[in-house]
Structure 1
Amino acid sequence: MAKNIQSLERAAAMLRLLAGGERRLGLSDIASAVGLAKGTAHGILRTLQAEGFVEQDAASGRYQLGAELLRLGNSYLDIHELRARALVWTDDLARSSGESVHLGVVHQRGVLIVHHVFRPDDSRQVLEVGAMQPLHSTALGKVLSAYDPVARGQAVENERPALTARTITAVAEFEAVLELTRERGWAVDVEETWEGVAAVAAPVHDRRRMPVGAIAVTGAVERVCPSGEVRPELVAAVRDCARAVSREIGAGRF
């Protein structure tokens, strides 16, 4: 019979400890509770912290569960279920807006497109399901980074290449964009990823108000932003669609 890996058992014990009782625990408390020397406990905690499973409060030095566990906890919501719940609403959005619609989720260090509704005209289009989009420049990526702490960390800590002359690459400017996105509830990409292309996106939340995806309308910049600003009716339509899908997966009215 294969033996259990002791270091993983100890790490699991620490996570269970942090999940119950007090919200934050010090190193001595954790080491004592799981029966380890402080040095050994600190090494495991440091590894968990590096992976995002544990966070350390800068002021007190105490540990708590990290944002990455929130993502894993949301894994019960299968991507296929999210797509299935969004089918009718995204079809309606494409029809009413006259533009392409994308449904994306955070995956690795980018946005994975899990559903794509073609623009309802006779133009030749390429199915983008399975494609990856960057977090820092797309409307989908900005929305997900604004509401998902893990996505934000990936976008801030990793390289943000200039894809066009309009791409935001500076950390401070990018953080300001995320703050604005949270304030108004939607994000825009005007030729920051592809020349001549603009998009507007809004977040999809589950019953715990956790972000599980985002929906975007994408089209030629002259149609999406004819006067230099995104058309207000497009913003309203995208937000209404995202709210409807959120309700489909259990979120309350908001």
Structure 2
Amino acid sequence: MTFGGLNDIRGKTIFGQHVVNMKSQAEPARRAGGKTRVKKDQGVNASPATRRRKASLKGDEAASPDEDTPTTRAPAVNRAAAILRLLARSDAPLGVNSIARHVGIVPSTCHHIIRALEIEDLISVDPDDRRCSIGLGLVNLARRALNQNLPEANAQFELDSIAEEFKLTTSLTRLDNRQRMVVVAVAEPEVPFAIRVNIGQRLPVWASATGRLYASTLDLPNGKLQKHFNAVKWAVQPTFEEWHSQVEYARTNGIGVDRGFFVPGIEIHAAAVHEYGRMQGTIAALTTIGTQDKNREQELHEALRTAAERLST
């Protein structure tokens, strides 16, 4: 059973392409002062510079942009980030034309961005076929972020200890700046059957056991809570009343629990990791429903709370 497939089901960006009619369109004749005035066609009769400019604009429209890319006043940065995300998702290196089509830019612009990213070692370009893949420079950046925010060595020790003691999969997540939890560390027990979680996997902050914890840290009226609850794509839809009672349990006990609502057949137990008093991540345990009796579950909750306290700053 693979929990890592969750990101593929719920978070995968589907790239589409809008077909734009590239034919030039002549405007109808207009009569002014008794004379017929025809606007000059900007297609065949246009100057080479005008044709190149219009082709560039239509080329940008011909492909849909990366759905994960926000709109800002720094489009070059947005496009570079979209290219990096695309290459990170791809199972194989991609050429410039393929990247440009997915990201929604013309190949010439894409080439310049790729060249800049290659110089910074953020992507790697094969010297033979010029196909692109993620560069090792990103590994260094990611390692610095993990070491700065959640000490990796300490976190892995806590995950390994709980995974081995309770014979289940554990994970550490961190809240990013777009209200998503990102898996940054994982431990799996040495057993024949275990749930797999992939590092880098993302899920909405309001989903799963994490969502109960996150909601419990906020002082929001029920109306706003229900709006966030309704936005979650549940596998098995709980009622808002059920979910709200579980939020209150998380507030009282410091543990969020999801019993098969977000991932069918999977129980997720989580405790919040805080930074300077604010929830910034979780340490979670995943198991199949019914494998932990009540006493063992309470022991698991205590272990998660203790580990979360040690990882908090």
Q: Which range, TM-score by smaller chain?
A: 0.5 to 0.7
> What is aligned with 2:168?
99
**Deviation for aligned residue 1:79:** 3.6
Are positions 1:210 and 2:278 aligned together? yes
1:140 alignment partner, one of 207, 210, 235? 210
Q: Residues of 2 paired with 1:213 and 1:124: CA distance? A: 23
Q: What is the Cα-based RMSD across aligned positions, in Å?
A: 3.3
Report the secondary structure of 1:121's partner residue.
coil
Are positions 1:163 and 2:231 aligned together? no
Report the residue type matching 2:281 in the other structure: G
Q: Residues of 2 paired with 1:178 and 1:138: CA distance? A: 11
1:222 alignment partner, one of 290, 293, 300? 290
Identity %: 19
Q: Assess, with a 3 A threshold, how the Cα gap between structure 1 residues 101 and 80 changes in structure 2: closer, same or farther.
A: same
Report the secondary structure of 2:214's partner residue.
helix
Are positions 1:88 and 2:157 aligned together? yes
1:188 alignment partner, one of 257, 269, 272? 257
Q: Assess, with a 3 A threshold, how the Cα gap between structure 1 residues 164 and 124 changes in structure 2: closer, same or farther.
A: closer
**Deviation for aligned residue 1:195:** 1.5
1:236 alignment partner, one of 287, 302, 310? 302
**Deviation for aligned residue 1:143:** 1.6
Contact 2:273 2:280 (8 Å CA) reproduced = yes
Q: Residues of 2 paired with 1:115 and 1:174: CA distance? A: 27
Q: Residues of 2 paired with 1:177 and 1:183: CA distance? A: 10
Structure label with greater radius of gyration: 2
Contact 2:209 2:257 (8 Å CA) reproduced = yes
Q: Assess, with a 3 A threshold, how the Cα gap between structure 1 residues 128 and 185 changes in structure 2: closer, same or farther.
A: same
**Deviation for aligned residue 1:153:** 10
Report the secondary structure of 1:222's partner residue.
coil
Contact 1:144 1:213 (8 Å CA) reproduced = no
TM-score, normalising length: structure 1: 0.55
> What is aligned with 2:270?
201
TM-score, normalising length: structure 2: 0.46
Report the secondary structure of 1:112's partner residue.
strand
Q: Assess, with a 3 A threshold, how the Cα gap between structure 1 residues 130 and 145 changes in structure 2: closer, same or farther.
A: farther
1:117 alignment partner, one of 187, 202, 206? 187
Report the residue type matching 1:95 in the other structure: E
Alignment of structure 1 residues 55-94 onto 2, 5 Å: 78-81=145-148, 82-84=150-152, 85-94=154-163
Report the secondary structure of 1:223's partner residue.
coil
Q: Assess, with a 3 A threshold, how the Cα gap between structure 1 residues 138 and 200 changes in structure 2: closer, same or farther.
A: same
Contact 1:144 1:214 (8 Å CA) reproduced = no
Contact 1:106 1:144 (8 Å CA) reproduced = no
Report the residue type matching 1:164 in the other structure: A
> What is aligned with 1:129?
199
Q: Which moved more, 1:113-122 or 1:87-96?
A: 113-122
Contact 2:169 2:194 (8 Å CA) reproduced = no
